Amino acid sequence: MKAGHMFIATLVVSVLLAVALTFSAIGKLTKNPSVVPMLEQVGVPADKIPWLAYLEILGAVGLLVGLVVWPIGVAAAVGVILYFVGAVVAHLRAGDKDFAPAAGLAVFSVVALVLRVLSA
């Protein structure tokens, strides 16, 4: 794949992941009734939910800034991977079988990292 094409793929994946993180953060910050009970079910105390949203916002910003500043993009992608791996672990610990969205976003985050590294 040509370097220009690799960056376009990086751009598309990073923007899509940043959008997903932003919508997820909005759901947490607005206490969306479809989001909060699920988080509490996997053991996240209600007063900690905004902190998860802040991490998602930081990840989204990092991914976008990282399109210009390579190390920030790599660090943000690693952070987002860790965030979603933690989400999968929380679901599994709680016996919640509905961890597919978190697992899918973890995989998507790995794709973002690989593309960011390869498009340097």
Q: What's the whole-model pTM score?
A: 0.93
How many Å apart are CA 114 and CA 120, to the nearest integer? 10
How many Å apart are CA 108 and CA 91, to the nearest integer? 18
Task: Look at the block and give the residue holding tokens 């910003």.
Answer: 61
How many Å apart are CA 118 and CA 60, to the nearest integer? 20
* Radius of gyration (C-alpha) of the chain in whole angstroms: 15
Q: What pLDDT digit, counting tens, does each position of 29-66 carry?
A: 999 998 888 898 999 999 999 999 999 999 999 999 99
